[in-house]
Protein backbone atom coordinates (compact mmCIF):
# COMPACT_ATOMS: atom_id res chain seq x y z
CA UNK A 1 0.00 0.00 0.00
CA UNK A 2 2.85 2.43 0.82
CA UNK A 3 4.47 1.74 -2.53
CA UNK A 4 1.20 2.38 -4.37
CA UNK A 5 0.73 5.66 -2.48
CA UNK A 6 4.26 6.85 -3.24
CA UNK A 7 3.85 5.80 -6.89
CA UNK A 8 0.75 8.02 -7.05
CA UNK A 9 2.62 10.87 -5.32
CA UNK A 10 5.29 10.55 -8.00
CA UNK A 11 2.67 10.50 -10.73
CA UNK A 12 1.05 13.64 -9.27
CA UNK A 13 4.40 15.48 -9.20
CA UNK A 14 5.23 14.41 -12.76
CA UNK A 15 1.86 15.55 -14.06
CA UNK A 16 2.36 19.00 -12.54
CA UNK A 17 5.98 19.38 -13.62
CA UNK A 18 5.05 18.48 -17.19
CA UNK A 19 2.62 21.42 -17.05
CA UNK A 20 5.50 23.55 -15.65
CA UNK A 21 3.79 23.84 -12.28
CA UNK A 22 5.63 23.30 -9.03
CA UNK A 23 4.51 21.07 -6.15
CA UNK A 24 5.31 21.37 -2.46
CA UNK A 25 5.22 18.23 -0.33
CA UNK A 26 5.02 19.30 3.30
CA UNK A 27 7.94 17.90 5.34
CA UNK A 28 9.78 16.62 2.22
CA UNK A 29 10.40 19.57 -0.07
CA UNK A 30 9.46 21.26 -3.32
CA UNK A 31 9.65 20.21 -6.94
CA UNK A 32 9.54 22.77 -9.71
CA UNK A 33 10.78 23.47 -13.21
CA UNK A 34 13.09 26.36 -14.01
CA UNK A 35 14.34 27.76 -17.31
CA UNK A 36 17.93 26.89 -18.12
CA UNK A 37 20.00 28.23 -21.00
CA UNK A 38 22.11 25.71 -22.89
CA UNK A 39 24.40 26.11 -25.87
CA UNK A 40 23.35 24.15 -28.97
CA UNK A 41 25.88 24.73 -31.70
CA UNK A 42 26.23 28.50 -31.88
CA UNK A 43 22.78 29.23 -30.45
CA UNK A 44 21.57 29.55 -26.88
CA UNK A 45 18.39 27.57 -26.24
CA UNK A 46 16.16 27.83 -23.19
CA UNK A 47 14.89 24.53 -21.80
CA UNK A 48 12.93 23.70 -18.68
CA UNK A 49 14.63 21.50 -16.12
CA UNK A 50 13.23 20.02 -12.93
CA UNK A 51 14.68 20.97 -9.55
CA UNK A 52 14.16 19.80 -5.98
CA UNK A 53 14.57 21.83 -2.81
CA UNK A 54 14.63 20.07 0.57
CA UNK A 55 12.16 21.12 3.27
CA UNK A 56 13.59 23.06 6.21
CA UNK A 57 12.57 20.41 8.74
CA UNK A 58 14.89 17.88 7.02
CA UNK A 59 17.66 20.41 6.42
CA UNK A 60 18.25 20.63 10.20
CA UNK A 61 20.35 17.46 9.96
CA UNK A 62 23.41 19.49 8.84
CA UNK A 63 22.97 18.41 5.24
CA UNK A 64 24.81 19.95 2.32
CA UNK A 65 22.16 20.50 -0.29
CA UNK A 66 22.81 20.93 -3.96
CA UNK A 67 21.71 24.54 -4.38
CA UNK A 68 19.09 24.13 -7.07
CA UNK A 69 17.54 27.45 -7.97
CA UNK A 70 13.90 27.88 -7.07
CA UNK A 71 12.26 31.20 -7.91
CA UNK A 72 11.65 32.98 -4.62
CA UNK A 73 8.48 34.71 -5.71
CA UNK A 74 6.76 31.63 -7.07
CA UNK A 75 4.00 30.19 -4.92
CA UNK A 76 4.06 26.39 -5.08
CA UNK A 77 0.83 24.53 -4.54
CA UNK A 78 0.88 21.83 -1.87
CA UNK A 79 0.34 18.20 -2.81
CA UNK A 80 -3.38 17.44 -2.92
CA UNK A 81 -3.74 14.43 -0.66
CA UNK A 82 -7.31 13.77 -1.83
CA UNK A 83 -6.20 13.50 -5.46
CA UNK A 84 -3.41 11.07 -4.56
CA UNK A 85 -5.83 9.08 -2.38
CA UNK A 86 -8.34 8.72 -5.22
CA UNK A 87 -5.60 7.57 -7.62
CA UNK A 88 -4.26 5.05 -5.06
CA UNK A 89 -7.76 3.87 -4.04
CA UNK A 90 -7.15 4.66 -0.36
CA UNK A 91 -8.44 7.25 2.09
CA UNK A 92 -6.98 10.75 2.28
CA UNK A 93 -5.98 9.99 5.87
CA UNK A 94 -3.96 6.93 4.75
CA UNK A 95 -2.05 9.11 2.28
CA UNK A 96 -1.28 11.66 5.01
CA UNK A 97 -0.18 8.96 7.46
CA UNK A 98 1.97 7.27 4.80
CA UNK A 99 3.77 10.48 3.85
CA UNK A 100 4.20 11.56 7.49
CA UNK A 101 5.48 8.10 8.43
CA UNK A 102 7.96 8.03 5.57
CA UNK A 103 9.22 11.52 6.42
CA UNK A 104 9.58 10.57 10.08
CA UNK A 105 11.62 7.51 9.10
CA UNK A 106 13.78 9.58 6.72
CA UNK A 107 14.39 12.14 9.45
CA UNK A 108 15.36 9.45 11.98
CA UNK A 109 17.79 7.85 9.52
CA UNK A 110 19.35 11.21 8.68
CA UNK A 111 19.61 12.04 12.37
CA UNK A 112 21.74 8.90 12.77
CA UNK A 113 23.89 9.86 9.77
CA UNK A 114 22.56 6.98 7.66
CA UNK A 115 22.36 7.18 3.88
CA UNK A 116 18.84 7.39 2.47
CA UNK A 117 17.30 6.83 -0.97
CA UNK A 118 13.69 7.63 -1.84
CA UNK A 119 12.66 6.29 -5.25
CA UNK A 120 10.01 8.29 -7.06
CA UNK A 121 8.70 5.99 -9.78
CA UNK A 122 9.22 7.31 -13.29
CA UNK A 123 10.97 10.45 -11.99
CA UNK A 124 14.18 9.67 -10.19
CA UNK A 125 15.83 9.03 -6.83
CA UNK A 126 16.30 11.41 -3.93
CA UNK A 127 19.69 10.49 -2.45
CA UNK A 128 21.06 11.60 0.87
CA UNK A 129 24.59 10.23 1.12
CA UNK A 130 27.29 11.39 3.49
CA UNK A 131 25.05 14.32 4.45
CA UNK A 132 24.80 15.48 0.82
CA UNK A 133 21.34 15.84 -0.75
CA UNK A 134 20.89 15.18 -4.44
CA UNK A 135 17.81 14.56 -6.56
CA UNK A 136 18.82 12.43 -9.55
CA UNK A 137 16.15 12.63 -12.22
CA UNK A 138 15.89 9.77 -14.72
CA UNK A 139 17.01 10.69 -18.24
CA UNK A 140 13.68 9.71 -19.83
CA UNK A 141 11.85 12.01 -17.39
CA UNK A 142 14.28 14.85 -18.20
CA UNK A 143 13.59 14.31 -21.90
CA UNK A 144 9.84 14.61 -21.31
CA UNK A 145 10.29 17.86 -19.36
CA UNK A 146 12.66 19.49 -21.85
CA UNK A 147 10.49 18.46 -24.81
CA UNK A 148 7.64 20.67 -23.56
* Tens digits of residue pLDDT in 92-105: 999 999 999 999 99
pTM score: 0.86
pLDDT reported for residue 71: 53
- Give the E-state strand segments of the chain in sequence order: 23-25, 29-40, 43-54, 64-65, 77-78, 116-120, 124-129, 132-137
pLDDT tens by residue, 64-93:
554 544 555 577 899 999 999 999 999 999
- Between CA 103 and CA 107, with CA 105 as vertex, the angle to 5 degrees is 70
Domain that holds residue 139: 2-147
User: How many domains does the chain fold into?
Assistant: 1
C-alpha 105, offset from chain centre: 17
The predicted structure's pLDDT at residue 62: 56
Sequence-ordered list of residues with C-beta below 8 angstroms from that of 144, at least 6 positions apart, any chain: 18
Q: pLDDT-derived band of residue 132, with 50, 70 and 90 as boundaries?
A: confident
Amino acid sequence: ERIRIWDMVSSYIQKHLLLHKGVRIPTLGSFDVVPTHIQVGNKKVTVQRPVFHLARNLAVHNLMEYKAYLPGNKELKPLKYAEVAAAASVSRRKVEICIQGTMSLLSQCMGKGENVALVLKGMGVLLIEDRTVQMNFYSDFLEKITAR
